[in-house]
Amino acid sequence: MGYSLDFGWLAGAVGAIARGAATTMLLIVVTTFVGTLLSILGAAGRRNGPPLLKRAIGVYVEVMRNTPFLVQLFFIFFGLPSLGVRLDPILAAMLAMTLNMAAYTIEIVGAGLDAVPRGQTEAALALGLRPRQVFVKIVLPQALKVIYPALTSQVVIMMLESAVVSQIAVRELTYEADMLQARTFRAFETYFVVTMVYLGLSMGLRRLLVSGGRRVLGAGVS
Angle subtended by helix axes 14-48 and 187-217, to nearest 10 = 50
Q: How far apart are CA 222 and CA 216, in angstroms?
A: 13
Q: Applying CB under 8 A, which of residues 3, 11, 118, 219 lies at the interface with other proteins?
A: 3
By the rule CB under 8 A, 11 interacts with other proteins: no
CB 198 to other proteins: min, Å? 5
Intra-chain end-to-end CA distance of the chain, in Å: 48
By the rule CB under 8 A, 192 interacts with other proteins: yes
By the rule CB under 8 A, 194 interacts with other proteins: yes
Phi-psi bin for 7: left (phi > 0), alpha (psi -120 to 50), beta? alpha
**Phi, psi for residue 187 in degrees, rounded to 5:** -60, -50
By the rule CB under 8 A, 39 interacts with other proteins: no
> Would you say 129 and 179 are in contact if contact means Cβ atoms under 8 Å apart?
no
CB 191 to other proteins: min, Å? 4
Segment interacting with other proteins (CB under 8 A) among 29-37, 44-52, 164-172, 213-221: 164-172
- Tell me whether residue 192 or residue 217 sits nearer to other proteins (CB atom): 192
Helix, strand, or coil (residue 1)? coil
Q: Applying CB under 8 A, which of residues 56, 150, 160, 179 lies at the interface with other proteins?
A: 160
Q: How far apart are CA 74 and CA 147, in angstroms?
A: 31
Q: What is the contact surface with other proteins in residues (CB under 8 A)?
A: 1, 3, 62-63, 65-72, 74-75, 78-79, 82-83, 156, 160-164, 166-167, 174, 177, 181, 187-188, 191-192, 194-195, 198-199, 202-203
